[in-house]
Structure 1
Amino acid sequence: MRTVVLTMKASVIEMFLVLLVTGVHSNKETAKKIKRPKFTVPQINCDVKAGKIINPEFIVKCPAGCQDPKYHVYGTDVYASYSSVCGAAVHSGVLDNSGGKILVRKVAGQSGYKGSYSNGVQSLSLPRWRESFIVLESKPKKGVTYPSALTYSSSKSPAAQADLWSTATYTSSQNRPGADPGEMDSWKPGSVLLDEGLVPKEELSTQSLEPVSLGDPNCKIDLSFLIDGSTSIGKRRFRIQKQLLADVAQALDIGPAGPLMGVVQYGDNPATHFNLKTHTNSRDLKTAIEKITQRGGLSNVGRAISFVTKNFFSKANGNRSGAPNVVVVLVDGWPTDKVEEASRLARESGINIFFITIEGAAENEKQYVVEPNFANKAVCRTNGFYSLHVQSWFGLHKTLQPLVKRVCDTDRLACSKTCLNSADIGFVIDGSSSVGTGNFRTVLQFVTNLTKEFEISDTDTRIGAVQYTYEQRLEFGFDKYSSKPDILNAIKRVGYWSGGTSTGAAINFALEQLFKKSKPNKRKLMILITDGRSYDDVRIPAMAAHLKGVITYAIGVAWAAQEELEVIATHPARDHSFFVDEFDNLYQYVPRIIQNICTEFNSQPRN
């Protein structure tokens, strides 16, 4: 009996093992038959904005052609969610214009987005936006599941969307009644439709209907386009010219903190279509350019340049202190008047003139050219930087990128440097006992009157001051104050010292403490005011100043020695040394000193 039981137990165990093995094998077979779902990368269009996609992280495939300027991008490296996803990918360098797969990750909104030009895409600046994103190469993280279908902010059924669209009162940022009804996904009474979804009216104060760029701060210029409206140009070529202007307006990222642009058309007589303050963003500017109509007439370029010099760059027209003035002149063929003299006056007013010449005179037409080689005579430097030439109107678009790059290269805009905004000026003031407190205040007023004539900033003229007796004292250096009000207040606060008169030592001190720290691209001007003969030798210090390129003006009062002033002054002494009998007459020399400074600056060769 026991044997039978053991045999039965063995049989049960054997059956159990067989069933177990069979089950495991069956499960493996089943597992083999079940295939894992294949990940499908969603395809999006170039105009899809990151803010439309709800997913916090996703992989998408972009098509070719997203480099087009119409797909707006805001920011650099970190992009506002109002940007085109694929446009940002091209700008960042993750994709080229042929398209491909990218990984997109949402991040927090930024307080500011900086525009830049990169990989053929001009991104725009933006003061702030509520959400951002970054673009990476499409390398999925281990253990992370990416969606095969994206979740968009508009997900209602077509019927529901149609119902909402028919009953909703909305305001669209593009003001387009034919917009996609899918944008109405989460409408509720009291909501307003924006391009990034529906927002309660009470939140409208913090939301912008469309982000308006403040402009690219790296290209802060005041730009005037002089376009050719002469009869000979024809309607078709005039349209090509307007297209270039629109493309420039888009590429520059127009805004109050960046470039501003106006347009003047010339023919027989020039006329302003709009000035610098008329349109302060690229979108409005492009719309205004489209409405420009051709005037006809001759190609009087010289008259147009004179008009711009006298009328365009004024404060009333939006001209900004510290922003370089730039004129771009487009010429079909050749001017019908002379441009050299008008251009010289423009340059001396601090205007950078660029010429774009299209086609040109054929051999049998050269006899009609009023001023051969007019472009080289007009521009600031004959080094090719300020002039562009195209053989045909159909090649005009090729000038877009080099032109934008050059007008924004403020370090090379040499003609924006005038006699009033290109110097480091060091005042060396005699504080000896013979001057007296009252006369010392008169000297400070003289220094104030001179300073008021200059354009003061970190990038324009800078002012420093030294007071001396037997000893020397640095009142303030070139880098201490960067605005005119601050400088004028600092001059008022200078205290009278009293003591002897060591002018030679004062010149050496100024060279070491002021001009040694002058910027390489600045003219160095020393204006020394003294009321007596120096106790030490001035010849060697004055020679050292001249050798170091410091232009020295010597102003003597009362008991100052004329021959000593002439030694101190830069040659010719008659233009750089002045003498007055009384301190109260110092003010009379302010206009003459300013005139001499400017005459000397303008006499320097420009080409």
Structure 2
Amino acid sequence: MREFVQRVIEKLNVGENKDRVSVVQYSREAEVHFYLNTYNTKEDILDTVRGLRHRRGRLLNTGAALQYVRDNVFTASSGNQGITKRDVVFLLDGSDGTSNGFRSMQDFVQRVVEKLNVGENEDRVSVVQYSRDAEVHFYLNTYNTKQDILDTVRGLRHRRGGPLNTGAALQYVRDNVFTASAGSRRLEGVPQMLILINGGRSFDDVDTPASALKDLSVFVFGIGTRTSDSGEMQRIASDPSYALSVAEFSDLPNVQMELSSAMTTVIVRSTPLTPTVIVERHLPKKDVVFLLDGSDAIQSGFPNMRDFVQRVVETLDVDDSRDRVSVVQYSSDPAVQFYLNTYTTKSEALATIRGLRHKGGRSLNTGAALQYLRDNVFTASAGSRRQEGVPQLLIVLSGGRSSDSVDSGASALKGLGVLTFAVGTRHSDRKELQNISYKPSYALSVSDLNDLPSVQQQLRSSMESVTIGVVPESPTVLGKEIFFFRK
């Protein structure tokens, strides 16, 4: 064994800024013969290896030894050059099905965080909980100390709710957490990691958002229980081997070492030889109008409609010179909540949306409402930039069949070039929704308004596909960084 180690070392290019070597021997417990920063020359290392003596011991605790080298040898203080800062996001299943296991989930996150080197210029951490939709507990740039993070994690409360929309949650963290404004250092080459802890099968599609995260170079690790879908977890994970499984959440400590090892194998080495050119992709500006069914029939579902509008607006780049937003509610007649030129910031628009009250009304005159928008909202005086060539989008959310004809109003909007998307429920008229929509494929359907999150990604993709191509930008040149994985 000793001679084998010598032969391997003889092939290395040993030096302080080149290859470094450490040797640890173990039986019941581990003993370091020398650390990675003990010797700077090959001869010193070989001399020490030649003088090694067999340690002896009856027990062979390999697991404890692996943990020991992870905690005491693969550290910066011991000379490890490979440890790099990371951005780590935890995505926790907060649905009704995990109420008994949430405390175990919480404890597991604490144990993982305790092993990180948290700091503004070191490891950053974010925690998001989800069920039907996602909720950020804190972003990557919220806390700079490990203690602040641990205190917040200890105080987490189980969110509850259903269904479990893992796909929507993955898309949410992609669009709202792995961003520079939320503290992500992806464009600086810092490894991005997502740890999904999940206790059930998703009610929505996970493939598209999982691919979107992989395209963003996010390394996704998934941990499921026996009630999770193992095939789904493997598709979500960056590599099938990064999908781990436990019987119950109380067994999470059993996979902590495996997760930790996988995370520490993401080693970044900067090489200034070949620059990587990154072209920032900006979707073109657009004017987006929401037309909401405010009739008596959907009163109980109105909060779901309101929440859905919030989530869509959160993905937009709201600004006077970028995306503009308007909201109109209708029943027998329409009422403008705000016009396209009322607000110039996302926060103002969201604050008003959160405060929307259900309008009420027995009749649902969708045709009249469409005509009203054509005449009063998609106009220059109301903030529309149609005559400047800015795409005009209308999103209709309806829970029933119209009391009047929609054909004339729908045709008037199409004639104006407005791209209409219609989302209805099982109480809506499918053919009517297709007539309203700019194309029949832009008519989406859910069983009830509380299922709206299940079509958010499909709507977002359709909205992006109808807007004009990529705006040319000056490329940003960054140093090339190579990630090495060892399984």
User: Under a length normalisation based on structure 2, what TM-score does the superposition of the two structures give?
Assistant: 0.46
